[in-house]
Amino acid sequence: MSQFPWKSLLSILAKHGFILRGYPDILMPGEVRGNNKTKGIGDLFSTEQVDLATSLELMGRTDFPLRLSRAPNDLLDGM
């Protein structure tokens, strides 16, 4: 089983004209914090992992539900 493509998620979404909305104000898993090498979701602090799980509606109610939407055509011009 392959792992979830956190590192390439945003570029995959952009390639297909999608915008990720409602993502909490935390690093994307795979983004580098400081000078460390990325460890994916393991780089997130435990509070950030809870925020991410909540945004994915994996636990409890959420104030920032994660959702996808199509990018407006004017944003897609030139892609």
Q: Which structural domain, as residue segments, surrounds residue 57?
A: 6-73
- Give how many domains the chain has, as a whole number: 1
* pTM for the structure as a whole: 0.59
Residue pLDDT tens, the chain, 79 long:
567 777 788 888 888 889 888 888 888 877 777 766 666 677 788 898 888 877 777 666 656 677 888 888 776 665 5
Contacts of 5 (CB under 8 A, 6+ apart): 12
Q: Is residue 10 part of a domain?
A: yes
pLDDT for 71 equals 83
pLDDT for 77 equals 64
Q: Is residue 1 part of a domain?
A: no
- The owner of tokens 């636990």 is 59
